[in-house]
Chains A and B, each alone.
Chain A
Amino acid sequence: MRRRPRPRTIAIGALIVLLAAAPFVPRGGGDHGVISPSGDRPHYVPRAAEAAGYSKVTPAMKAEIARVVDSTPRTLPRMAAGRIPTGVVDGLVKCADFDGQRYCLGQGWTTETEQQVQARVAADVAPLTGRRATKAKKARNTGDLSETAELKRLARMSPAARAKAETKELTQAARAVAKVWLIRHEIQGVPLPADFLAEHPEARTTASSAAGRVDTNAVAAPAAATPSVSPTVLPVGAGAPTTAAPTTTAPAPVTATTTAPAAPSVPTTYPVKAKILKNKQTAEQIRTYWCGPTSMQMITWGWKQKDKGAAHWAKKLGTTTAGTAITSMVRVVNNSTGWDKPTYAGPYTVLDVKSFTSAQFFALMQKHIAQYRAPVILHPLLLTRYFPYLDHNGGGHFQVGRGYKTNKHGTQMVGYFEPWNQQRFHPSEPFIARVQWAPASRELAAIKANSLHNIGV
């Protein structure tokens, strides 16, 4: 008697199909936005694609969250005259290891070690004297929450409230781990762990939709096109992998012990240019520190087709005169829009892009705009060095990433909604339109110049 295929068999079949496609998913780069595997560069057709959905918070993740939260001292060193002691940084800036990826509180998913992050934050919040960089408060505060302000906010909380906030942030991050793994894999070339799809069904496609994605007329690309690289993920506190470049070899991989199998491809292309959100659904910030609420106003406007105003979102985001935390930005996108659905971007999370090259950043924008059809929370430092059309420097800032293209000069550009209208607060400066395009290299450099160097994806 012939047995009907069991769901497990179907799932394994889907897994095989997806793994077969894995070597040829986009890496970004040149060719006017055309994504193809490195090597032979055959011409491919686009495929539909979805983001990973919310991951299940496993018992191991819960234990890791509890470990991190419990490690927070109940009593933090006293802060005097605005100085933030190292003990406060070490007590509040902590990292969790979720399935081989590292998430640090207030910082996002990163390839830095916990010690590296703590050292960096300690340097960023140190008093001015003897420090090469200066505090964001010196520049125009256009609205992001600086590390200093975030630490002060956390330090003022009661231990119970702080534990609750940390648990909430870490849980939200853990639920995005499959998406982060796919970004690491597709954009940065990190091989997926061998058991990734078995462990993360939210990253699988269904058998039927997987079949639908395969263009059987497409050229089967040569096998073994995937560069064999070691992952950059390490256990918390392990030695430092400094970059996620495909050629990097990490000294102590945890879970990613094999490369994704090479197989006939389902290659992908992106349009040469793409954009989402309507130009008219834009607004300028009406308070100097409201870039977060105003960016959220535009992001939600694009989803709900209804403008609720920045004040509404300032309340949701917990915005103060010190600004808005990027962790709040991703939380509100997840809670108040459908951009986090698997059919769009999946759960929004905070991603450190310090290790990203311009090509990788552009590939991420392509993926987010053309595949996910969802906006990116850009988080630059608003310096004239990167945005020379501004009359003066600003501080940490939010913009809404909503497009990409390669112009006729061959320059890769990102499109964004700019909430900052310098003329509103400084009438001696000319008006600049809310809808802007700028070279991807400048945008990435501005994001890296921000001491947090992260974005919301």
Chain B
Amino acid sequence: MRRLTLALALAGALLLTGCSHHDDQPGQAASPGDQPTPSAPSTSASAPASSTPPSTPAASGTSTAQATPALLDWKPLPGSTEDSSMTNGSWVLTVGQQGGWWSLAKGGGGKHVQAPAGLAVANQLLDADWAVVVYQDPNGEKPERAVVTSLADGSTYMLDKSSPLPPSSDGSWALRGSTLSYATDHGKDYCLATTDLGTKQATLGWCAAPQHGFSSIVTGPSGTAMLTFDSGQPSCRTVVTVSGTQTTPFPGVPACKGAQGALLPSGSVWSVVPNEHQYQRVHVYATTPGGVVDLGTGTNSTMTVCGDSVFWSRDAQGQGGPADLMRWDGSKLTVAYQSHAGSAFLGVPLCADDVLSIFSSADGGDEQVSAHVS
């Protein structure tokens, strides 16, 4: 189903695309001998015109939110900044830099649990009562497996190929409360599954059409959103709301340009990729009862719901400035965290219960910190 033969065919065609010149000197037109491309303001010269959508997806009714500082009370996380740590305020779940080990302990530290031979830790998930560590075959050939730990009593079990809805070999994961969301192979279908970690009851959700897939599962108190896509190059990407076995596209998102979505009681937050050649940069919007609000730029794949708000990272605006963690609570845009200044950027914010953890890098130093969001 999801084995994207179309993608392979297109890739093969791309590989066959060559130039008929046989010169060994770079003297041809647009060859390396040319002068560098003259400057052009703001847009990438490498981007085809068709890949640049309107800067404002919603043609009317769009307002622009101005961010104000409302920094949370950030505390340093224990351990090296080379490793990825997150906390729920009590427990600290850490994964080694390249997924070779993980540890879980109150206050940090703890024994390093090595990933099994041939596997690496691909995801870390933590909530008030549960911790989940996902092992993945780096080559994507074996099914993923998840170590589930009850924080109440320290007991563990494995979600794997013996489970009613086993994890697929590759996919997105999300944890909210005791509900774990992930991808599963169901027959020939690639589907969204949920498992209640307490009862171990698994539920099959929406299944992707052939030649389609999904990723970026974002769960929140108002529901689950994710990104669906096809095998095109670029993929036609659609941000959707998931309800049972159905998905509904977010309204107002430019066709095929979606990046991420999240749901709040007051509406939704979504992002688009304005330029396929700057896939890292997204533009973020909120849909509210009053219309669409422009929330500015962000970093792709960093959106998360924590507490009553949606958070995402924004790289430094200018070389000397700090990177910001942005927050939208449904009515106002604030800066929840600011890094040191200078060549700054943030990692992906990780939410556990109502505690957010974030890695930041800047000329002034790297740090890994956490804060309660409410």
Which residues in A have some Cβ–Cβ distance to B below 8 Å?
30, 128-129, 132-136, 138-141, 271-284, 286, 288, 301-307, 309, 338-339, 344, 357-359, 369-370, 373-374, 381, 383-389, 391-395, 403, 405-413, 415, 421, 423-433, 435-442, 444-445, 449
**Structural contact, A139 and B120, CB atoms closer than 8 A:** yes
Q: Is the CB of A431 within 8 A of B235?
A: yes
Number of B residues near A (Cβ < 8 Å) is 98
Q: List 8 A-B contacts (CB under 8 A).
A: A133-B97, A134-B96, A134-B97, A280-B17, A305-B22, A338-B24, A411-B317, A429-B170
CB of B217 to closest CB in A, whole Å? 11
Question: Could you tell me the dominant secondary structure of chain B's interface residues?
Answer: loop
Of the candidates B11, B23, B321, which one forms a contact with A305 in the assembled complex, judged by CB atoms under 8 Å apart?
A: B23
Contact of A388 among B25, B122, B190, B299 (CB under 8 A): B299
Contact: B100 with A274, CB < 8 Å?
no
**Which of B's residues lie within 8 Å of A, judged by CB?**
2-4, 7-8, 11, 14-15, 17-19, 21-26, 28, 30-42, 44-46, 80, 82-84, 96-101, 112, 114-115, 119-120, 122, 136, 138-140, 168, 170-172, 183, 190, 213-215, 227, 229, 231-235, 237, 276-280, 297, 299-302, 313, 315-321, 342-345, 347-348, 359, 361, 363
Decide if A383 touches B46 in the complex (CB within 8 Å): no
Note all chain A residues with C-beta closer than 8 A to B183.
428
Residues on B with beta carbons closer than 8 Å to the beta carbon of A141: 138-139
Q: Is the CB of A427 within 8 A of B319?
A: no
Q: Closest residue to A297 on the B side, CB-wise?
A: B15
A387 to B254, CA, bound (A): 24
CB distance from B168 to the nearest CB of A (A): 7
When C-beta atoms are compared, the residue in chain A nearest to B115 turns out to be: A138
B30, B120, B235 interface centre (most CB from chain A within 10 Å):
B120
Query: Is B277 within 8 A of A437, CB to CB?
Result: yes
Q: Which residues of A have CB within 8 Å of B297?
A: 409
**B361: chain A residues within 8 A (beta carbon):** 441, 445
A132 to B82, CA, bound (A): 8
Contacts of A425 in B (CB 8 A): 139-140
Contacts of A358 in B (CB 8 A): 319, 342-343, 363
* Known contacts A135-B100, A428-B214, A431-B233, A339 near B15 by CB under 8 Å: no
Which of these, A135, A374, A389, A409, contacts B279 with CB under 8 Å?
Answer: A389
The answer to whether A134 touches B99, judged by C-beta atoms less than 8 angstroms apart, is: yes
B277 partner residues in chain A, CB cutoff 8 A: 433, 435-437
The answer to whether B347 and A385 have CB atoms under 8 Å apart is: yes
Which of chain A's residues have a CB closer than 8 A to the CB of B2? 427-428
List, in ascending order, chain A residues with CB within 8 A of B227's CB. 430
The reply to whether A338 and B25 contact each other, CB–CB distance below 8 Å, is: yes
Q: How far is the CB of B214 from chain A (nearest CB, A)?
A: 7
Instruction: Indicate if the CB atoms of B14 and A281 lie closer than 8 Å.
Output: no
Q: Is the CB of B231 within 8 A of A431?
A: yes
State the 7 A-B residue pairs at the shortest beta-carbon distance, nearest first: A134-B100, A274-B36, A410-B318, A441-B343, A305-B21, A358-B343, A307-B18
In the complex, which residues of chain B have a beta carbon less than 8 angstroms from the beta carbon of A421? 11
Q: Which chain A residues lie closer than 8 Å to B34 at the CB level? A: 276, 373
Min Cβ gap B42→A in Å is 4
Q: Which residues of A contact B313 (CB under 8 A)?
A: 388
Q: Are the CB atoms of B345 and A436 closer together than 8 Å?
A: no
Q: Which residues of A contact B8 (CB under 8 A)?
A: 424
